[in-house]
Each structure stands twice: as structure tokens, then as C-alpha cells.
């Protein structure tokens, strides 16, 4: 096989693999849209993410020093309240909680 043919075949294989990897999630997603498991995951994953972030923040605050415990607890409360009041928008609640923690930690 010549150098040009080898290069073209490698590029064709790379193109096929790239196309397949980008197309497969859409092909798999269509039948999953009606799945009860996916609906349950969509409901519980944001709550799980928020719980993990809260536990991680509180754990690191306890490990650092006691002065950060109150800002961390208040920021966790802000996150929960914004999540429940703000229509369960994870990005909004995590952003508000993070901003609250940064402000409270730096003001104190």
C-alpha cells in the first residue's frame, strides 16, 4: 500500500469512527425518551448532585477551620431554597449557593 492510499484509509477509518461516536448517542436516546428509568434519573440526579456538593462543601469547611462552617451552612441553605423556589434549576441554585458561600466566606 502506498503512502497516499494508507493516509486516505486511515482518514476514512477515523471519519467513520468519529461519525459513529457522534451518531450513536442520538440513536440510543430516541427509545430511551419514553423510559421510566430516564424519567426517574432526570428527577433525582439534580438532587443527588446538590447533595454531593453540599456534603463536599461542608466536609471541606469542617476540615479547613471552624470559621467557614457557618458560611458553608448558610450557603447550603441558600442553595436548597433557591433550588426549591427557583423551579428546580440546578445551575441557578448551584450558582446562587456558590456566590453566597464566596461572599459570606470573604466578608467574615
Q: Examine the domain organization and report whether 22 and 66 are in the same domain.
A: no
pLDDT in tens, 30-82: 778 788 888 888 888 878 887 887 788 777 766 666 777 788 888 889 988 99
Q: Examine the domain organization and report whether 75 and 96 are in the same domain.
A: yes
Give the number of domains in the chain. Answer: 2
pLDDT in tens, 83-94: 899 887 888 988
Neighbours of 76 (CB within 10 A): 21
Nearest to 76 by CA among 55, 46, 45: 55
Q: What domain range includes position 80? A: 35-108
Is the whole model's pTM more than 0.75, yes or no? no
Q: Examine the domain organization and report whether 54 and 24 are in the same domain.
A: no
Q: Examine the domain organization and report whether 18 and 65 are in the same domain.
A: no
pLDDT recorded at residue 38? 82
pLDDT recorded at residue 8? 93
Q: Examine the domain organization and report whether 15 and 51 are in the same domain.
A: no
Q: Examine the domain organization and report whether 66 and 51 are in the same domain.
A: yes
Q: Examine the domain organization and report whether 84 and 72 are in the same domain.
A: yes
Average pLDDT score over residue span 20-37 = 84
Amino acid at each position: 500500500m502506498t503512502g497516499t492510499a494508507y493516509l486516505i484509509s486511515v482518514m476514512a477509518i477515523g471519519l467513520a469512527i468519529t461519525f459513529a461516536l457522534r451518531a450513536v448517542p442520538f440513536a440510543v436516546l430516541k427509545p430511551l425518551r419514553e423510559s421510566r428509568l430516564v424519567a426517574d434519573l432526570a428527577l433525582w440526579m439534580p438532587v443527588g448532585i446538590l447533595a454531593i456538593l453540599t456534603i463536599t462543601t461542608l466536609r471541606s469547611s469542617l476540615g479547613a477551620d471552624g470559621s467557614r462552617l457557618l458560611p458553608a451552612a448558610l450557603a447550603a441553605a441558600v442553595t436548597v431554597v433557591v433550588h426549591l423556589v427557583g423551579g428546580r434549576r440546578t445551575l441557578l441554585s448551584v450558582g446562587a449557593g456558590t456566590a453566597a458561600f464566596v461572599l459570606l466566606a470573604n466578608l467574615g
